[in-house]
């Protein structure tokens, strides 16, 4: 069964289905009866735990700027 991870800023809930994580609506989360209860999930921004290298834009290749 899927497990709730956290609530996103837009009000949807990030749910783990094995190795995959997808956002679903709060209504769908409650209707499916996922654990933990919606009220126990913390609010979180989606990029909070990503390493800096993932959040940065890739370096520009000076050879392409001609």
pLDDT score recorded for residue 21: 94
Measured between alpha carbons, how far is 42 from 9 in angstroms, rounded to an integer? 11
Closest CA to 5 of 28, 38, 48, 30: 38
Q: Measured between alpha carbons, how far is residue 38 from residues 18, 32, 62 in Å?
A: 19, 11, 48
Measured between alpha carbons, how far is 49 from 38 in angstroms, rounded to an integer? 21
CA 30-10-50 angle, to 5 degrees, is: 105
pLDDT tens digits, one per residue of 5-59: 999 999 999 999 999 999 999 999 999 999 999 999 998 865 655 544 444 555 5
| DSSP for residue 19 | T
């Amino acid at each position: 069964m899927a497990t709730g991870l956290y609530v996103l800023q837009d009000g949807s809930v990030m749910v783990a289905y094995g190795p995959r994580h997808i956002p679903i609506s709060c209504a769908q989360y409650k209707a499916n009866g996922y654990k933990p209860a919606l009220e126990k999930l913390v609010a979180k921004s989606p990029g909070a735990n990503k390493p800096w290298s993932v959040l940065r834009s890739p370096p520009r290749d000076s050879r392409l700027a001609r």
